Copies of this chain bind each other. A is one copy, B any other.
Amino acid sequence: MDNFNFYSPTEFVFGKDRENECGKYVKKYGGSRVLLHYGSGSVVRSGLLDRVKASLEAEGVYYKELGGVQANPRDTKVYEGIDLCKAENLDFILAVGGGSTIDSAKAIACGVPYDGDFWDFYSGKAVIAAALPVATVLTIAAAGSEGSGDTVITKEEGMLKRGAGSDFLRPRFSVMNPALTCTLPAYQTACGATDIMAHVFERYFTNTTEVEITDRLCEAVLSTMFKETPRVIADPNNYEARANIMWAGTVAHTNIVGVGRSQDWNSHGIEHELSGLYDCAHGAGLAVIMPAWMEFVMEHNVMRFAQMATRVFGVPMNFENPADTAKKGIRAFRVFLREIGMPINFEELGAKEEDIPVLVEKFGLGEEGRTGGFVSLSSSDVAEIYKIAAKATL
């Protein structure tokens, strides 16, 4: 096990009707002038935004609204938010929505006290050293952004999707009412579930040995998702299954399942080029990329894939041929993805095989570059993974 720090100071306020306590928690964490940040009309139509506003008003908290955050949130909206915070002297950002809205809120939060262009944090030019406090009312179980210090923003010019992270961006509190996710369409629910599982897989496939506790915690989240996701697809109003998925999504991404070990986020990176180019859902892109990546790297550590197959997907161990078990595990993952309505190849996603050179180009390794991780990848490896993903079947 490697040395590590683990720090997850967010207060999670979980359960039915908890959004009515927003005002109380904003005050508890020192907010007095709030940017109320949200996305599309669904939080308005559902009445959620009104309940949040009523809760703020009941505590006498001042707020200004900024809606209209898109999926794959854009830098343009971030600039708008930064300007509004400065003009109105706002001191706290409350994001009401899913990962996109929360990520946009985090970008605004670190942009406000920074003299330069906030994109510097995403392009790697600067490190986040301060931020306005952020809190969330989560409406989609997926990104884990409600408990993480991470944010991903898309630069509209060139549709460049890039991430940044800092403990300063960890939400002060996150209200998580599973009932709010019941109205989410099946496709988006499945996208979220896939994203949650990917967050675990990216930590699970490690070259660090002797990490039984985090292996087991990863498998706990994956097993839960394997059981609960088909239940909510079949019965969207199943509160209990929604609750299990929602908490699993947070546990998956505070990093408690990933500390003390090397991680491999190449699947996320390889997917980002897909959702960047086609504006498809991140989770759907992951459903196509993650198993393809697994096939490509499986030989690097067959026993780890056999462990996943056995402990998560219940594949019986083939002691004479562990690679057979490993392959059956990857197949079981694709069967699960198909069952919950996810695409498993380019055609189903709406991507085109002929775009692979463009995707590889945007991934940006160039001729000599390699990524780190479980298996270090070159541009031609990335192209190969796109090719496997393009043609995948059950």
Contacts and interface: CB of A to CB of B under 8 A. Distances in A.
Nearest to A222: B216
Number of copies: 2
Interface residues of A, number: 43
Interface in A67-107: none
A350 interface: no
A247 B224 contact: no
Contacts of A377: none
Contacts of A14: 3-6, 259-260
Residue from A2, A220, A241, A256 having most chain B Cβ neighbours under 10 A: A220
A227 interface: yes
Nearest to A11: B7
Contacts of A6: 11-12, 14
Nearest to A178: B1
Interface stretch (A205-213, A282-290, A316-324, A335-343): A205-213
Contact of A220 (B9, B13, B217, B247): B217
A273 to B, nearest CB: 32
A16 B243 CA distance: 37
B223 A216 contact: yes
Nearest to A254: B256
Residue from A10, A223, A227 with most neighbouring chain B CB atoms (10 Å) = A223
Interface of A: 1-16, 18, 178, 209-214, 216-217, 219-221, 223-224, 227-228, 240-241, 243-244, 247-248, 251, 256, 259-260
Given A14-B260, A210-B243, 17 more contacts: A3-B14, A3-B18, A4-B12, A5-B12, A6-B14, A9-B9, A210-B241, A210-B244, A212-B224, A212-B227, A213-B224, A217-B217, A217-B251, A219-B220, A220-B220, A247-B260, A251-B256
